[in-house]
Amino acid sequence: MYWYRDGSFLSLLPWLATMLLVWLAGWLLASHAFRLQSRERIIAGLALGLTLYVWLVNLLGRWLEPGLGFAVPAVLLLALAGLVAWRSGARWLDPADLHIWPWLVAGFALFYVFMLWSKGLTLFDEHKNLSLISIIGNGNIPPEYLPGYPLRLIYHYGFHFIGGSLMRLGGLLPWSAFDVSKALLFAVTLLLAGLLGRGYVGRAWGGWAAAGLVALAAGTRYLLLLLPPGLLLQMDKVVQLQGTSALINRPFSEALFSPWLVDGGPPMPYIFAFLNGIMDPLVMAHQGPNTFSVLIFLLVWLLTLRLNDRWGAACLAIVLAMWALVWEATYALFILGLFTFVGLAFLRERKLNLPQLRPVLGAALISGLLVLVQGGTITELVRELIFGYEGGGLLQSLGLGVSGMLPVTSAANAVSFLGFSLRWPLAIVSSHLGPLSLFSPIQLIVALFELGPVILFTPWITQWAWRRAKAGDWLLGVLACAAWLGFIIPIFFQYQSDRDISRLTWQAMLTWTLLLPLVVADRTFRWPGWLRHAGAAALLLTGFSGLMIAGTQFSAASTTRLGENFNELDAAISAQLWGKLPVEAKVLAPVGSATILSGHLSGTLIGEPDPGNEWHQLYPAPQLADLLQYGYNFYYLDSRSWEKLDPALRAASGFEADCVTTFAEVWDNAHINYRRMLDLRACTD
């Protein structure tokens, strides 16, 4: 049971119908709110419609029951798009836009390939992502961190609404909803990249190059293997593997050609030399939020200078706000880049004559206001800073300084609230290798190979972008400014969860990598011929790592995994449980399991409860009387953990009492292993 809770493909039809409405609405908006070419409208419309739809679900899902919360936004979006089309007075849709059908076929092929990989892999924050998709699909919007506390999750959960819609409207199970979400966004992102590359270069190869770079671009760590062995041995003394990379447990020089054995990876393991701690290729992006962030980045790039009227500006404001809900770091980087560019342009020109500047600045400011109230990382941090929470500093006491989340303290300590401090020595941060000091020649060499050769072309990329900006395409100047900020900030500042700050460097390198082929293709930009050829070679080297990773992932294409530590029994109990538990249910269960399988938040959303929580007392030795004392009215019994308990504890647990009933239960064919949700509510009467 990988796909559907009821086992039928027909359960997906309501979701497909909803997505057709969303796509149609996006197509209408792309045709009337923006000045797009015919070949751009359908693909840009799909990306635009999907982004606006998710934002509306986040808004309306707070007040509507879950089914309506995912369906009504599509109808509302189509109605608003129809109003925009009607007010424009132009033809609603142009059938000539459908000539893009070969691109759509390519998009479906990309979706299919990435779906094959995704269903065979369970990489990167699997339980966190599955939990969010499950509870959002069940109507927990905005998602809580702890049931019964006035806390909302400080996290970029915008991506998970797509999986939530697949569970609620499409009848999918959590893992298939997760995988379909990633595959869908991956395909649409590459199509958008192809549109941008085709538009700038003016030839088909520009689209292929841009899409290929978005999918495959990474650093060139593998080129370290070409260095003299003595130099590699010197690296062993100053380069230490961190995080999951440390599990290789070998010196750096040996780790380069060693397999990266990670839970949930493909049967043929990744080779460490082709991985990267700064710029993992998107083809390996099995987490999801970063793919959605790249989609919005490309959509903003495509739409910003094509606003048709105030409706276009309103759409852009919502797209930017949605970016903050998906990946707050890149949103903030873009906004900083926008205002930095405007400031620099004003200092140099004293009089700004930039087309579309005012409505774009207005959209950026409106997005900032929306971000303060829409939920997600920035909203909750501002709320904590201004109002605090009952019990002050509760989030930090719960240990939320984990990957992808910002640490929080009370409003009295704003410096530690931000989690930033000055870095010394100055360094380039790799999530695999840690800070690589600029003052250590050996570490600096490693850092340059980690970044890849594109970094060597940044002076010419910046010069080209500024010239194009002065000629009217000023968004290129914004992107160049944002890229430099993203590169410089991690060098001078460190973050409490320091590996996360490499995301800024990743965005900088992605921007430069996408700009370099445009520079290479621009024959009006004068630079030596050998340098142009070197730029093309740098792009080929940059994409080689991603190509190797893609080849490795084909070993997972013929396998299916339901999720880390889940099997068909878990799928069967989920089909019975999901969305069925009462709102007041308080469930004692293994970390994450009941939340993912039922869609009902049980315990903390991410990770184990804090050390003082009663879960640590109750779960290792569950007793009916103790559960009732702490207000639990359901107990999730997994035979794998139950059989590990001491027989005396099982015998004295009290779960054989007459008041304990079975809410849901499944057994394997041998009638040995089982999953069971016990209902304890009658025991409290």
Q: pLDDT for 545-585, tens place per residue? A: 999 999 999 999 999 988 878 889 999 999 999 999 998 89
Tell which wins on pLDDT, 537 or 123: 537
- What would the pLDDT profile of 182-239 be if each residue is shown by its tens digit? 999 999 999 999 999 999 998 889 999 999 999 999 999 999 999 999 999 999 999 9
Alpha helices in 388-455 (DSSP H): 394-397, 414-418, 441-451
Residue 523 included in any domain: no
Domain of residue 668 covers 580-684
Highest mean pLDDT among 23-32, 281-290, 353-362: 23-32
Residue 278: predicted pLDDT: 92
What does 402-416 look like in DSSP terms, one character per residue? STT------TT-HHH
Residue 625 included in any domain: yes
Please count the helices (runs of H) and the strands (runs of E) in the chain.
Answer: 28, 10
Mean pLDDT of the chain: 89
**What band does 418 get if pLDDT is binned at 50, 70 and 90?**
low
Tell whether the model's pLDDT for residue 406 goes beyond 50: no
Tell whether the model's pLDDT for residue 392 goes beyond 70: no
Residue 1 included in any domain: no
Rounded to an integer, what distance in angstroms lies between the CA atom of residue 290 and that of residue 362? 26
**What band does 396 get if pLDDT is binned at 50, 70 and 90?**
very low
Residue 674 included in any domain: yes
Sequence-ordered list of residues with C-beta below 8 angstroms from that of 352, at least 6 positions apart, any chain: 342, 345, 346
- What would the pLDDT profile of 260-311 be if each residue is shown by its tens digit? 888 888 999 999 999 999 988 999 877 789 999 999 999 999 999 999 989 9
Helix axes of 328-349 and 502-521: crossing angle, nearest 10 degrees: 60
Residue 77: predicted pLDDT: 97
Alpha helices in 61-173 (DSSP H): 66-88, 101-119, 126-137, 160-170
Tell whether the model's pLDDT for residue 589 goes beyond 90: no
Residue 351: predicted pLDDT: 64
Residue 159: predicted pLDDT: 96
Helix axes of 289-303 and 174-201: crossing angle, nearest 10 degrees: 30
**What band does 374 get if pLDDT is binned at 50, 70 and 90?**
very high
β-pairing verdict for 270-271 and 259-260:
antiparallel
Residue 150: predicted pLDDT: 64
Residue 192 included in any domain: no
Torsion of CA 505, 510, 512, 517, to 10 degrees: 160
Alpha helices in 554-592 (DSSP H): 568-577
Tell whether the model's pLDDT for residue 79 goes beyond 90: yes
Query: For 30-35, what is the mean pLDDT?
Result: 95
Residue 335 included in any domain: no
**What band does 416 get if pLDDT is binned at 50, 70 and 90?**
very low
What does 213-227 look like in DSSP terms, one character per residue? HHHH----GGGGGGS
Beta bridge partners of 427: 437
Residue 389: predicted pLDDT: 54
Rounded to an integer, what distance in angstroms lies between the CA atom of residue 466 and that of residue 473? 9
Tell whether the model's pLDDT for residue 646 goes beyond 70: yes
Tell whether the model's pLDDT for residue 482 goes beyond 90: yes
Residue 563 included in any domain: no
Tell which wins on pLDDT, 320 or 631: 320
**What band does 603 get if pLDDT is binned at 50, 70 and 90?**
confident
Residue 350: predicted pLDDT: 63
Share of residues in the chain with pLDDT > 70 (%) = 94
Q: What is the pTM of this model?
A: 0.93
Residue 645: predicted pLDDT: 84
Beta bridge partners of 260: 270
Number of compact structural domains in the chain: 1
Residue 166 included in any domain: no
- What would the pLDDT profile of 486-521 be if each residue is shown by its tens digit? 999 999 998 877 778 889 999 999 999 999 999 999
